[in-house]
Structure formats: C-alpha cells, structure tokens
Amino acid sequence: MKTAEEVLKEMDASLHLTPEQRERINPLVVEWRKKARGIEATSVKQRHEVFQQMVPIIRTNLTAEQQRTYDRDALQIERRFQRGIRNLSGNP
C-alpha cells in the first residue's frame, strides 16, 4: 500500500496542486491512509468504502479543471477496487 506521501505526490503530479491545496489535502490523505491501513488487507470492501468517503471531500479542494483529472484518476482506482472485489467473491 502506498504511503500518504506517495499518494499526495502522485496527486500533485497529476493535478498540479497549489501549495494551499497540498496543505489542505495532505491531512485528508493521511487520514485516508491511516484508516485504510487499520483495515485488514483482505478487506477490500472496507478500504473501498473509506476511499468512497474521501473522494468527494478531497474533490471540494480542487479547481474545476483539477476535478476533471481527479475524477478520471478516481474512476481508475474505483475500477481496480471493483476488480478486486469481484476476484475476492470468485466472480470473473
């Protein structure tokens, strides 16, 4: 699992965050990763729920242009979660 710093760095590279946005979003990402780490690795569904809770909160700290990029990135992550959930349930 990536660290909060790695996640924020990827977000910054993709979204070109302002220093103020990084300052506001960093604690959200730290909280997200802390919650996700607290959930057992096999509990993809719970990690997915935490992800879904944090996406709209992070999104409110972005410009409209950044939101479009973030939405695309979040959709890719969402698809990975869905594949992981299907794999755990035995569905192809």
Four-CA torsion 9, 67, 51, 84, nearest 10 degrees: -90
Within its chain, how far is the Cα of 89 from the centroid?
22
**pLDDT tier for residue 44 given thresholds of 50, 70 and 90:** confident
Alpha-carbon distance of 36 to 12, in angstroms, equals: 21
pLDDT band at 59 (very low <50, low <70, confident <90, very high): very high
Domains of the chain, residue spans: 4-89
Q: What is the pTM of this model?
A: 0.66
- Name the residue type at position 80: R
Q: Distance between CA 78 and CA 66 in Å, rounded? A: 18
Average per-residue pLDDT in the chain? 88
In total, the chain counts a number of residues equal to 92
What type of residue sits at position 24?
Answer: R
